[in-house]
């Protein structure tokens, strides 16, 4: 009886341990099959590779079209004898050159430039333009390069350039511009190059401008050497000639020293022979 109970108890314990072992193995296998959440997902080796997307070609900026006012101004500029061209194939801003015109270019010929926003470069080198002519470009706010070398503009005329905030290049070579004219340019923040060769500006005026416009490069060139005044050479005066001692003076001196020789010799009296009777 006792043996039967022990066998029954052993059989029950053995069955429970076997069941527990089977459950543990199933859980372990389940853990192996479940992939961790943070594991990187790898594509299968045989998966087809996707080609990189090609960037669409950038469209070129459309060339701004000239207005009717621009076309009329271009026609008037050509009639004045100047040349006018578009800056590039894809840039319709205008380049105007009066320095190549036949004959004199006076202030009146700049009238077609008034209010011409598309004006980018203007060359007035060596023309007869004065301060009055610069009034025609006072509102050309698109102007970037301006040649005024060898013209008749003065300090007063440069006041017409104050609104040209896009101006980057200005040439005033060979003009009568002085320090007062430089003060008119202090507000041109985009100015990069300024030519002042053979003008009336001083070192003090240039330094003041560069303090207001630290980025500007001032080119003053080398002034030609001024002729030195001729210095007259002093003629070397010959030393005065010493007078030769006179013989008479020497004799007098000798007479003073020798009293014997001082007495004059009497001339021998001529004896006249007596005539015989």
Mean pLDDT of 81-102: 92
Note the Cα 189 to chain centre separation in Å.
14
Mean pLDDT of 37-47: 56
Residue that the structure tokens 């003053």 belong to: 220
Give the C-alpha separation, 219 to 210, whole Å. 12
What is the end-to-end Cα distance of the chain in Å, rounded? 248
Task: Give the pLDDT band of residue 31 (cuts 50, 70, 90).
Answer: low
Q: Is residue 166 part of a domain?
A: yes
Residue 89's pLDDT is what? 87
**Edge-to-edge strand order for the sheet containing 217-219?**
83-88, 91-97, 119-123, 145-147, 169-171, 193-195, 217-219
CATH code of 140's domain = 3.80.10.10
Task: Give the pLDDT band of residue 65 (cuts 50, 70, 90).
Answer: confident
State the chain's mean pLDDT as an integer: 79
Residues 166, 190 contacting (CB under 8 angstroms): yes
Residue 221's pLDDT is what? 83
Task: Give the pLDDT band of residue 103 (cuts 50, 70, 90).
Answer: confident
Q: Is residue 226 part of a domain?
A: no
Number of domains in the chain: 1
The pLDDT of residue 36 is above 60: no
Q: Is residue 179 part of a domain?
A: yes
* Paired sense of beta strands 91-97 and 83-88, if any: antiparallel
Q: Is residue 20 part of a domain?
A: no
Residues 138, 92 contacting (CB under 8 angstroms): no
Q: Residue 115: which domain range?
A: 82-219
**By mean pLDDT, which of 183-187, 197-201, 203-207, 270-274 is the weakest?**
270-274
Q: Is residue 35 part of a domain?
A: no
pTM above 0.75, yes or no: no
The pLDDT of residue 237 is above 50: yes
Q: Is residue 151 part of a domain?
A: yes
Residue closest to 193 by CA, chosen among 234, 221, 151: 221
Q: Is residue 88 part of a domain?
A: yes
The pLDDT of residue 87 is above 70: yes
Per-residue pLDDT tens for 110-167? 999 998 999 999 999 999 999 999 999 999 999 999 999 999 999 999 999 999 999 9
Q: Is residue 121 part of a domain?
A: yes
């Amino acid at each position: 009886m006792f043996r039967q109970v022990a066998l029954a108890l052993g059989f029950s314990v053995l069955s429970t341990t076997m069941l527990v072992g089977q459950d543990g193995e199933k859980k372990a296998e389940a853990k192996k099959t479940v992939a961790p959440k943070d594991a990187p997902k790898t594509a299968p080796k045989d998966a087809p590779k996707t080609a990189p997307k090609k960037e669409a070609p950038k469209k070129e900026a459309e060339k701004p079209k000239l207005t009717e006012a621009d076309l009329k101004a271009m026609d008037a500029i050509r009639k004045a004898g100047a040349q006018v061209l578009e800056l590039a194939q894809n840039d319709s801003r205008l380049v105007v050159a009066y320095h190549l015109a036949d004959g004199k270019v006076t202030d009146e010929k700049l009238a077609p430039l008034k209010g011409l926003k598309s004006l980018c470069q203007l060359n007035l080198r060596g023309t007869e333009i004065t301060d009055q002519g610069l009034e025609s470009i006072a509102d050309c706010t698109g102007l970037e390069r301006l040649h005024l070398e060898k013209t008749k503009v003065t300090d007063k005329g440069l006041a017409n350039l104050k609104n040209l905030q896009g101006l980057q290049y200005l040439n005033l070579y060979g003009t009568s511009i002085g320090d007062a004219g430089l003060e008119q340019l202090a507000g041109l923040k985009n100015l990069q190059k300024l030519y002042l060769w053979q003008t009336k500006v001083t070192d003090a005026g240039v330094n003041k401008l560069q303090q207001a416009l630290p980025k500007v490069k001032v080119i003053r060139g080398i002034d030609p050497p001024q002729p030195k005044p001729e210095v007259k050479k002093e003629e070397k005066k010959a030393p005065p000639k010493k007078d030769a001692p006179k013989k008479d003076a020497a004799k007098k001196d000798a007479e003073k020293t020798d009293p014997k020789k001082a007495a004059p010799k009497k001339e021998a009296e001529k004896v006249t022979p007596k005539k015989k009777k």
